[in-house]
Structure 1
Amino acid sequence: MKEYTNFDAVGLASLVQTGQVEANELVEASIARAEEVNPGLNAIVKERYDRARKEAKERRFQNEAFAGVPLLLKNLSHTIQGEPITAGSALLSHRIAQRDSHFVSRLKRAGFMMTGFTNTPEFGLKNITEPKVYGPSRNPWGEAFSPGGSSGGAAAAVAARIVPIAAASDGGGSIRIPASFTNLVGLKPTRGRIPVGPGVGRQWQGAAIDFVLSRSMRDSARVLDELQVYQKEAAFHTPIYEGSFEKQMAKAEKRNLRIAWNDRSPVGTPVSEAAKQAVRQVVRWLEAEGHYIEECGPDIEGTTLMEQYYTMNAGEMAALLSSIERDLGRSVTREDVEVETWLLRHLGDRLSAASYASSLSAWDQAKARMVRFQDTFDLYITPTTAFSAPRVGELTPTHNEVERLYESVEKSTEQLFEAVYEMFLPSLTYSPFTQLANMTGLPAISLPVYKTFEGMPLGVQVMTQAGQEHRLLQLGWQLEQSPLWEGG
């Protein structure tokens, strides 16, 4: 199918629904595109092409929303029964999924054809995708650059038009950061909107959520319609949105919005002029559309909040590796995992239950402050990332840096915590704006509205109140019709 790369997912589904193409033709087109471009990108780390071919030929569609559309899953938690899922770690090379995740089950029900799994950093811990076990993913906008992370393989696959949509997840910006770096739409829904489990209910204490990366607003809106759920057993719930996100998206707000914007890093790190310009051009456009605009931000101390985020990371990693040790019947050594995993595990082993509880309390306080801020403002706009994509290897610690990090394990807990913060600081400098939405559970979206002088993409992030994703989709749809839009 020569025109395959010209269509978004909604467009491809329409071709199947109207009998113009068969699902197996779309699967073959996606495989052909992958074989053409994936050797240079390393976006896909596990193929399931033969299974996808068989499933596409055997399935009888009944007007499913995404009938026959090829899709890639993320090699982190998007499990298919009987298939490997390694989370980007050699430590889990033996791991075979015992069942489909609820998220994958919903994607299947929507009509998607799963053609493989995409690259991710070890345990999804970084905003770049350069796991030792698979090697780095590369950015279709320049193969010397990273597509971001942790959904970097997914972003590279969509940007290279291997698939129109790829499954992704976001625990600190892992959908929005790659979207910014690769010119895609990256929505992080409200906490509790998307199915979780089985077996996992909190997903990084509510910070992480599954969704997709796409090239069009209507694709993201329709996926949200298909995936939103009220799941009784889940730890967090968001009321079902009555109506259709896709249909509501094209309807203009009946009133002018109150919009806050800020282009200063919440942790005091530098922000590029390009990222500032990206925000300001959107702000000027919104002001011309009649909306009330004010430069301000919530009263939240970003550095302290990030320390509480790393406390969660450490606790989660300690619990995960302890569970893996029980399964393996042996201790995990530093040779088994990457340095970031090793340090977080040791920090998590040392932190007290009191410090962990205090960190989650800080998350709740940040949520309360955001709610008060949102009593005044409908939308909050920032850069998605402070810079365009880093070069591959730029954020990977050198051999000497790694050795110094290993030495910090022998030091005091306070010194180890400082080492963890410093270890992630180069990455945080690139993406200081995204974690707030994860810690508060609020919806946020990265929109492809800017390119740097060198031609590299940069996204703008928009946040809104819990359960109000339709506002993000409406704004994105309006920008999609405007001269500012760079995606597509």
Structure 2
Amino acid sequence: MISAADYARYDGLGLAELVQRREVTPLELLETAIAAAERLQPQLNAVVMPMHEIARARAATALSGPFAGLPFLAKDIFQEYAGVPASYGCRALKNARLAPAEHAEIVERWLRAGVVVFGRTNVPEFGAKGITESQAWGPCRNPWNPAHTPGGSSGGSAAAVAAGIVPIAGANDGGGSIRIPAGHCGLFGLKPGRGRTPQGPHFMERMHGAVIDHVLTRSVRDSAAMLDATHGPEVGSLFHIAPPERPYLDEVGRDPGRLTIAFSTRSPIGTAVDAEAMQAVRNTARLLESLGHHVEEAEPEIDGMQLGKDFITMWFATCAATMDEVKRRTGSGNDGFELDTHAMAAFGRATRANTYVEGYLRWNDYARRLGEFHQRYDLFLTPTLALPPARVGEIRTPGWQQAVLRVLMALHLEGLVLKTRIVEQMVQENLKWVPFTQLANLTGTPAMSVPLHWTADGLPLGVQFGAAPGGEGLLIRLAAQLEQAQPWAQRRPPVHAAA
């Protein structure tokens, strides 16, 4: 049996190498991971659906692939495991315990890479928030300070990786849900570009391709190697994105050259940006200059408020469609869903079809303007988060707003509300913590959060880099250079498997 301290010293590839050298067995790794998850569950609430017996049976079989024998956690949304119920953070689905007949394609590829999935991680209802505090499972907490959120929607996965339960966990990103929790928890979080990893078999593109699956990791090389194992088209893919020039793992340690990098600390929706977030970017800019890169202040000519409104329009409409589908599948009434979800769905249903399409057509404008920007700049640097990680419950909808929402929905006044300036207020209120991440989703471009800053209170606050389409390799090259120049793996939170 490997000790918790020894287990936590290795990244995913490192543990897989131990298995390959027969210094440890997959079952021994699994039992260490399960013990860590169970010990830390009362403090973090990260793993909400254990799969221990399924995992033990798999660990006893012959495994192959670059991560053969590695304990792994999947996110409890879009990453279905055959025969295991998925709750999506929703009471209706949790109670119905509907189990898929087949793996999601991304899970199938993870399994072919050799991982042993032993649980599903905590998410907000339908992954619709940047925090992980569902009524179905209760709040997930940040290992760096359990009074604070690990972010969302991949909050459970981020907490588990940061706490050393696993070195890699499944995540996905439709508005920042890989990068946001990475920024909260001191992790590396790469959001690949649209179409880079599979979405099937139940979806070909979620939210017009704004959503993408990948992982959260402590090391850059784990993220690169897992992308090698999962990228590429699947049966029914709507388009085939150009393959990388070389394996992504080969980008780790490869000289990125002298890059021209633009940076901005201005919130694109006009909300406040904390001094710590601005300092994180300035410190990163100085680090980049010391590595030989050219850094200057600039930003793409994009109306950030309009982009935020178009994002919220799509988000609310998707929430409405998801809620209606869950009602059909489970037979649940309104009591199976949270009030905030009801409100988002109600605004989604009240949105006129032409308004939705007009917003979607503007995605092309944003992509075009960002493409023009990337003709001048290799990368775009911003804070990942505008504000430090919130305390658990801090972003909860106030009681008076809940009362107003109930009245609006009872009187079916959502359509009238959408015609007022309240929509802009909704955008600012919903996105003020995370106004920088949605651009990459709507344009389909790759982006990453890199853990280069901790606040005076000891909380992580990541910085974000965005690249042009197909720029995953460039992002990995730079991330690996930054990881070597300013290592973060040795930093451990107070709540940790090895503590």
Distance 1:46 1:157 in 2: 13
1:241 is matched with which residue? 244
Distance 1:412 1:278 in 2: 39
Please show how residues 158-177 of structure 1 align to structure 2 within 5 Å. 158-177=161-180
**CA contact 1:9–1:219 (8 Å) conserved in 2:** yes
Identical-residue share of aligned pairs (%)? 41
Letter of the structure 2 residue corresponding to residue 176 of structure 1: R
1:387 is matched with which residue? 387
Distance 1:67 1:412 in 2: 51
**CA contact 1:180–1:388 (8 Å) conserved in 2:** no
**CA contact 1:445–1:463 (8 Å) conserved in 2:** yes
Letter of the structure 2 residue corresponding to residue 5 of structure 1: A
**CA contact 1:91–1:336 (8 Å) conserved in 2:** yes
Distance 2:471 2:414 in 1: 44
Change beyond 3 A, Cα 1:469–1:321:
same
1:363 is matched with which residue? 363
SS of match in other structure, 2:134: coil
1:351-383, Cα deviation, whole Å (9 max, x unpaired): 222111111111111001000100111010000
Distance 1:396 1:420 in 2: 19
Structure 1 residues without counterparts, runs of 5 or longer: none
1:196-222, Cα deviation, whole Å (9 max, x unpaired): 111211111111111100000111110
1:296 aligns with 2:302: no
2:462 is matched with which residue? 459
Please show how residues 327-406 of structure 1 align to structure 2 within 5 Å. 327-328=329-330, 332-333=333-334, 335-406=335-406
Please show how residues 16-415 of structure 1 align to structure 2 within 5 Å. 16-57=19-60, 59-62=61-64, 64-93=65-94, 94=96, 95-253=98-256, 255-328=257-330, 332-333=333-334, 335-409=335-409, 410-415=412-417
Distance 2:489 2:408 in 1: 44
**CA contact 1:118–1:154 (8 Å) conserved in 2:** yes
Name the TM-score, length of structure 2 as normaliser. 0.94
Letter of the structure 1 residue corresponding to residue 395 of structure 2: L
1:296-320, Cα deviation, whole Å (9 max, x unpaired): 1000011111111111112212222
Distance 2:414 2:37 in 1: 48
1:146-174, Cα deviation, whole Å (9 max, x unpaired): 00000001000001111110101111000
Letter of the structure 2 residue corresponding to residue 206 of structure 1: G
1:19-57, Cα deviation, whole Å (9 max, x unpaired): 111000100010111121111100010101121111101
SS of match in other structure, 1:451: coil
Distance 1:414 1:242 in 2: 51
Change beyond 3 A, Cα 1:148–1:222:
same
Letter of the structure 2 residue corresponding to residue 481 of structure 1: Q
Letter of the structure 1 residue corresponding to residue 289 of structure 2: E
Deviation at 1:400, TM superposition (A): 2.3
Letter of the structure 2 residue corresponding to residue 26 of structure 1: L
Structure 2 residues without counterparts, runs of 5 or longer: 492-499
**CA contact 1:451–1:486 (8 Å) conserved in 2:** no
Distance 2:161 2:477 in 1: 22
Distance 1:238 1:14 in 2: 31
Q: After the TM superposition, which of the residue ranges 199-208 and 266-275 deviates more from structure 2?
A: 199-208
Deviation at 1:446, TM superposition (A): 0.2
SS of match in other structure, 1:34: helix
**CA contact 1:184–1:487 (8 Å) conserved in 2:** no
SS of match in other structure, 2:120: strand
The number of aligned residues is 483
Spell out structure 1 runs of 4+ moving beyond 6 A: none
1:11 is matched with which residue? 14
Distance 1:231 1:99 in 2: 15
**CA contact 2:308–2:427 (8 Å) conserved in 1:** no
**CA contact 2:218–2:489 (8 Å) conserved in 1:** no
Deviation at 1:485, TM superposition (A): 4.2
Letter of the structure 2 residue corresponding to residue 237 of structure 1: H
Distance 2:62 2:174 in 1: 35
Deviation at 1:323, TM superposition (A): 2.3
Distance 1:43 1:421 in 2: 33
Deviation at 1:421, TM superposition (A): 5.5
**CA contact 2:309–2:427 (8 Å) conserved in 1:** no
Q: After the TM superposition, which of the residue ranges 400-409 and 303-312 deviates more from structure 2?
A: 400-409
SS of match in other structure, 1:372: helix
Change beyond 3 A, Cα 1:164–1:299:
same
SS of match in other structure, 2:199: coil
Change beyond 3 A, Cα 1:424–1:126:
farther
Letter of the structure 2 residue corresponding to residue 352 of structure 1: R
